[in-house]
Structure 1
Amino acid sequence: MHPKTRKILEIFEEINKIPRCSKHEERLSLWLQEWGRSRGFEVKTDAVKNVLIKVPATPGYENSPGIVLQGHMDMVCEKSKDSKHDFYRDPIRCVYDGDWLKGDETSIGADNGIALAIGMALSEAGKNREIEHPPLELLFTVDEETGLTGAMGLEKGFVEGRTLLNMDSEDEGLFLVGCAGGKNSRITLPLEWESFEYGKECRFGLFKLMVEGLEGGHSGVEIHRQRANAIQLFARVYSGLREKVGKQCVSLVLLSGGTTHNAIPYFTDAFLALDRAKFEQAEKLVSEFGTTFRSEYAKTDPELVLSFREVENGVVFENSGGKVTRKEVTPNLVFSTGTEEKLLKLLLALPHGVYRLSDRIPGLVETSNNLATVRTGENEITIITNQRSSVMSRLAEITGKVEAAAKLAGAAVVQEADYPAWEPNLESVLLSKCRQVYLQTFEKEPGIEVVHAGLECGVIGSKYEGMEIISLGPTIRDPHSPAERIFIPSIERVWIFLVNLLKSYR
């Protein structure tokens, strides 16, 4: 392992000792400030706890243009259903598996903790005169994953440099030069309850239907993989149950699916009141749906599982941003028939997946929607969808379709977390320099792409006039999921490239 890769990973493991789920980065913000001051660097923060660490140029680079190295502090906190990990108290355990680094049944936070570690290692190396570089600003933002609110909160004059290296990309050797804009739709469907007798001594029992084992993944960069959506699969199964066993023989008691707006939902839990006399028929039907789904998604979700069994108590643990909430079923109450019909029609009607491919850049997903989460409240069912597009008019179009489907079902809709697209500039001086340095360093051309995900680049670029931006980073797979992992050799290549790029600014 390259000695600087080892140093970067040591810093990354220190970062992973500090809880940093989105909107809970306070401790990490303070730790970063202390890290900068202890090394003699100028440090400042702002009202939303973004951190800026100013690193002086090495000798001979004092008059070079300032470079901003940027990453975000927060992470998507996901874990396997059996994990006991508490993201708000426990350090994340790093597991080395050959050339890969992963978590212990949790997301590891390489998105985007590795960016912080690389920036800090570069600064220390410059201070120790191991590398040469222009004036650097380490810009570490908060709350990127739940709406880019850290970048949104940046104030005029907080950053001086006009060359930004965003390190939130996930494929080494690929430079991102544009990204999608996006917004969330919060759909609220009124929930009407009906009294209903079910339990041990009743004709009707409480049953649990689970859709699990799906791949999930990032709702932007992996939406084109056409992976299964657990909420949609549930809707298909339950619609079939109501049709085959009879609406009078089965009722919903509680529904919970997905974890966060920017992750494809990989599981859904539902509790049903079912006539025990219909159990064998229902079990057979669920098994048939399972066979159908495994055939449909054999390539994308080979571990897909449907399970159906009677239970004595109904409890789900809802994970949102690493915070787990325990929720019990409401005794002897079920969804009204009218509520069920509206809910199922809505879940089946809401778009999910790729909506439109770009007609300018081959292979680019231009517009998509992620049917992300569903939750049962006391008097309402809440559904979150996440729309993305690199064309803002198309973003309005797909958002309008989501809103129309919701309103036809009698639901209310509120739009949240709106952020702009980052339109590519293929003529930028920064891009030209990065391509030249990469070619000289590795004797191959880098890839140039626009990504179907929200990056802070668009927000930062809109706040600071004249900012040239490029996004890069080491190779990360399955971000926003318990399978998240980082390819260790790619860290060395990013390090070597950045050292050569910074040196080229004399």
Structure 2
Amino acid sequence: MTKRDKNNNVIISVPASPGYEHLETVVLQAHTDMVCEKNAGHPHDFLRDPIRLVYKTVNGVRFVSADGTTLGADNGIGVAYALAAACDGVCRPPLELLLTTDEEEGLTGAQNLSPDFVSGRYLLNLDSETEGTIIAGCAGGVSVSLKKSFDPYFMDEKHAAQFSFYTIQISGLAGGHSGTDINKPRASANVILAKILASVAGKMESSELEFRLIEMTGGSVHNAIAREASCAFMTDIPFETIERCVFDFQTAVVNDCSFDEPDLQICLVKCDFPEMVRKYEIPEKKSHVPVLTTKNSSRIISLLLSIPHGVFEMSDKIPGLVLLSGNFAVVRSEFSAADDEEDGNVKGKIKIIYNLRSGNEVKLKEKTKDLMNIGKKYDFHASVFSSYKPWEPDLNAPLLKMCRNVYQETFQKEPIVSAIHAGLECGAFVRIYPGMQMISIGPDIIDAHSPDETLDLDSSARVWTFIKAILGKFEFKKG
């Protein structure tokens, strides 16, 4: 039997193998969406083009990645495991294959499941990324949006003659998952951009000089560390001063031992007025370049500098586990006719997306409040558009104990039992299905949420062996 709900979550009921009918139903769960990231300039269209696979072998280990894009192993491999378990020849109790949607957008598919959609009370989440580790808990998360509209000034060629126009492009950063990679020595392109702009704007040696933002773009999705960012601005600060700021900052980041970003590139380009007109002109204001005022530009830069990024607190219960972190995920600006203006007045708009994670619900709420207060300080509208609770570990749960024993019997070694600083759909399930016992497992996936995403194929085979062993030795009886 198969059914689908209004959010396109799907559940497939699979009968037990002969001799396993007396056992409780096991839910095998994975999500069907992926993060769509690609390298700058790559022509791939995620809506139309297939993922192009790249295979390689390193020191006898087989890997697969994609050509310039994310692979989708997160969580395509989980979907593959679930479907494979329904095949003939796999010894299994009754199964429910739960395939959820929009996990990467905030667990929205899982969070909107109805209480009667799933009947099983033992669940294997197949969305983890480290072989040999059984995950028994995960962080909760909150995504916050900061928005503000501005009245732009339209610069014509005559008034622009005393200024110069520039673009800055930041690229070459490693990026990665905003949960599992946030404690690694990786820089955020959005943070770098904010600090460079602050450094340049700080060179205004007198009130006669001006610095005006035109456009900002950084990051792509809420759950990935920003790998690339760019901006355009207008100023009468000397070119040599700006160039020195950029050079000094790039050198400082590359040489900073807290970062491992040897491929960082910061490209400064001086542009002329006609080029800016071609790039930013809008129909309502021909032959003009839209710019923000120096005052608004300064306030935006101050806000960007105030946004915290990185690890804030480590767990005192599980060594090496991040307890609380934040990701300055996305910044976008644009000029367009205001939707609420009949006369077509043009507005400048800026939007920031920020993602918080914590294994402690109280700390998550406190940090969310702090961030929203930062936005309000600079007159930005702050709102939460996605949130989910932590899944707190129960290290004495019978399902966890059984799976640990199965792993030991199968591989002759103890698995690692831990929690993860990322959002798993288990955090939604504990709210909708109280009393459900869960674990999360998966193969080695490297650099998820980035174009360097790589799946270890040999690890994938061993995890499949583990899944079959769990199902074949499942011990919980109905009633």
Tell whether the structures are fold-level matches, with TM greater than 0.5.
Answer: yes
Amino acid aligned to 1:108 = L
Distance 2:55 2:281 in 1: 40
The answer to whether the aligner puts 1:95 opposite 2:54 as a matched pair is yes
The one-letter amino acid of 1:116's match is V
- The 5 A counterparts of 1:313-462 are 313=275, 328=280, 331-378=288-335, 379-462=348-431
Query: Where does the alignment leave 5 or more consecutive residues of structure 1 unmatched?
Result: 1-41, 317-326
Letter in 2 for 1:303: D
Q: 1:58 to 1:153 in 2, by over 3 A?
A: same
Counterpart in 2 of 1:165? 124
SS of the aligned residue for 1:225 comes to: coil
1:371 maps to a residue whose letter is F
Equivalent pair of 1:192/1:339 in contact (CA under 8 Å) = no
Q: Which residue in 2 is equivalent to 1:117?
A: 80
Residue 329 and residue 152 in structure 1: after superposition, are their counterparts in 2 closer, same or farther (change >3 A)? farther
Q: Distance in 2 between matches of 1:368 and 1:298?
A: 17
Cα distance, 1:200–1:208 mapped onto 2, change above 3 Å:
farther
* SS, match of residue 8 in structure 2: coil
| CA pair 160-299 structure 1, distance change in 2 beyond 3 A | same
Quick check: 1:144 aligned with 2:103?
A: yes
User: C-alpha distance in 2, partners of 1:81/1:315?
Assistant: 23
Quote the Cα distance in structure 1 between the aligned partners of 2:158 and 2:136: 58
The answer to whether structure 1 residue 186 and structure 2 residue 157 are counterparts is: no
* Range moving further from structure 2, 138-147 or 188-197: 188-197
Q: Does 1:252 align with 2:213?
A: yes
Q: How has the CA–CA distance of structure 1 residues 293 and 315 changed in structure 2, closer, same or farther, with 3 Å as cutoff?
A: farther
Relative to 1, partners in 2 of residues 1:198 and 1:252: Cα closer, same or farther, differing over 3 Å? farther
Counterpart Cα distance in 1 of 2:203 and 2:169: 19
5+ long unaligned stretches in structure 2 = 283-287, 336-347
* Larger proportion of helix: 1
Q: 1:300 aligns with which of 260, 268, 271?
A: 260
User: How many percent of aligned residue pairs carry the same amino acid?
Assistant: 40
Q: State the AA in 2 paired with 1:381.
A: I
CA RMSD of aligned residues (A): 2.0
2:135 is matched with which residue: 172, 176, 181?
Answer: 176
**Does the Cα contact within 8 Å between 1:197 and 1:204 map onto a contact in 2?**
no
Structure 1 position 341, deviation (Å): 1.4
Contact 2:141 2:387 in 1 (8 A): yes
Secondary structure at the residue paired with 1:244? coil
Give, in whole Å, the separation in 1 of the partners of 2:446 and 2:145: 29
Q: Give the structure 2 partner of residue 19 of structure 1.
A: none
When the two structures are aligned, how many residues end up with a matched partner?
A: 450
Could you say if the C-alpha distance between residues 314 and 466 of structure 1 is closer, same or farther in structure 2, counting changes exceeding 3 Å? farther
Q: CA deviation at 1:48?
A: 0.7
Q: Give the Å deviation of 1:188.
A: 1.2
Looking at structure 2, the residues matched to 343 and 329 of structure 1 have their Cα atoms a distance apart, in angstroms, of 22
Q: CA deviation at 1:200?
A: 12
Structure 2 counterpart of 1:488: 457
Which amino acid letter does the alignment assign opposite residue 62 of structure 1? E
Distance 1:440 1:329, change over 3 A: farther
Q: Give the structure-2-normalised TM-score.
A: 0.90
Matched to 2:219, the amino acid is G
Whether the 8 Å contact between 1:245 and 1:278 is mirrored in structure 2 is no
User: Does structure 1 conserve the Cα–Cα contact (< 8 Å) formed by 2:280 and 2:290?
Assistant: no
Q: Tell me, in whole angstroms, the C-alpha distance in 2 between the residues paired with 1:315 and 1:397.
A: 44
Structure 2 CA distance for partners of 1:47 and 1:245, relative to 1, 3 Å = same
Equivalent residue runs for 1:159-238 within 5 Å: 159-197=118-156, 202-238=161-197
**What is the alpha-carbon distance in structure 2 between the residues aligned to residue 340 and residue 135 of structure 1?**
60
Deviation string 1:218-263 (CA, Å, 9 cap, x unpaired) is 1111111142111111111111111225572432111111101111
Secondary structure of the residue that 1:341 maps to in structure 2?
helix
Is structure 2 residue 37 aligned with structure 1 residue 68? Answer: no
In the alignment, is the contact (CA less than 8 A) between 1:249 and 1:278 conserved in 2? no
Q: CA deviation at 1:198?
A: 5.5
Letter in 1 for 2:220: T
Read off the aligned partner of 1:482 and give its amino acid letter: P
- Measure how far apart 1:307 and its partner are: 0.8
Pairing 1:290–2:253 present: no
* Distance change >3 Å, CA 309–CA 297, structure 1 → 2: farther
CA distance in structure 1 between the partners assigned to 2:46 and 2:310 by the alignment: 29
1:199: how far off?
9.2
Letter in 1 for 2:69: T
1:255-284 Cα deviation digits (max 9, x unpaired): 111101111111111011234x82233222
Amino acid at match of 2:333: T
- Once the 2 structures are TM-superposed, how far is the Cα of residue 299 of structure 1 from its aligned partner? 4.5
Following superposition, which runs of at least 4 residues in structure 1 exceed 6 angstroms of deviation?
Answer: none
Q: Deviations over 1:472-500 (max 9, x none)?
A: 00110111111111011001110111111
Structure 1 SS opposite 2:405: helix
Match of 2:228 in 1: 267
Displacement of 1:301: 1.3
Q: Between 460-469 and 100-109, report the one with greater CA deviation.
A: 460-469
* CA distance in 2 between partners of 1:201 and 1:358 (Å): 53
Change (3 A) 1:96 1:418: same
State the shift of 1:398 in Å: 0.8
3-state SS of 1:224 partner: coil
CA–CA distance in structure 1, aligned partners of residues 433 and 203 of structure 2: 59
Give TM-score scaled by structure 1 length: 0.85
Amino acid at match of 2:233: L
* TM-fit CA distance, 1:442: 0.7
The 2-side partners of 1:70 and 1:311 are apart by 52
Query: Which residue of the other structure, out of 22, 39, 49, is the alignment partner of 1:80?
Result: 39
Q: 3-state SS of the aligned residue for 1:377?
A: strand
User: Aligned residue for 1:37?
Assistant: none
Q: Which amino acid aligns with 1:376?
A: S
What residue number does 1:33 align with? none
CA contact (8 A) 2:127 2:441 kept: yes
